[in-house]
């Protein structure tokens, strides 16, 4: 499975690389008030993509802040369990949320 993902990543990279090599001719973008920008077409496409990503991320920031503050308030509202006297697995309450276990 790991090799299949690397093969997919390599295919995407070489496709984008071929796109960049095939679009090296100059293109002109006209802005307002007679200003213009002349650059290779692939650079213009890359810039448009980067600006789109930046606008998307900036659009998500307020919602992300709201969710983060709501999660912080919910975490603070959780009842704090008393410290168990014995460190046995039976002393752990299964109703309380457990920390995630990462399989890395």
Distance CA 11, CA 42 (A): 18
The count of structural domains within the chain is: 1
Does 67 reside within a domain? yes
pTM reported for the whole predicted model: 0.54
Q: 82 and 65 in contact (C-beta within 8 Å)? A: no
Does 87 reside within a domain? no
Beta-bridged to residue 36, according to DSSP, are 30
Does 64 reside within a domain? yes
Specify the range with the lowest mean pLDDT, choosing from 9-18, 21-30, 33-42, 78-87: 78-87
Which residues constitute the domain of residue 47?
Answer: 12-76
Tokens of 8: 């997919």
Beta-bridged to residue 28, according to DSSP, are 38
pLDDT bracket for residue 93 (50, 70, 90): low
Distance CA 61, CA 55 (A): 10
């Amino acid at each position: 499975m790991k090799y299949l993902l690397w093969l997919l990543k390599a295919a995407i990279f070489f496709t984008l690389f071929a796109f960049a090599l095939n679009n090296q001719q100059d293109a002109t973008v006209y802005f307002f008030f007679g200003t213009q920008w002349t650059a290779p077409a692939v650079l213009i496409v890359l810039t448009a993509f980067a600006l789109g990503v930046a606008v998307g991320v900036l659009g998500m920031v307020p919602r992300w802040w709201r969710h983060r503050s709501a999660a912080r308030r919910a975490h603070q509202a959780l009842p704090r369990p008393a410290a168990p006297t014995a460190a046995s697995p039976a002393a752990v309450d299964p109703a309380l949320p457990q920390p995630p276990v990462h399989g890395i």
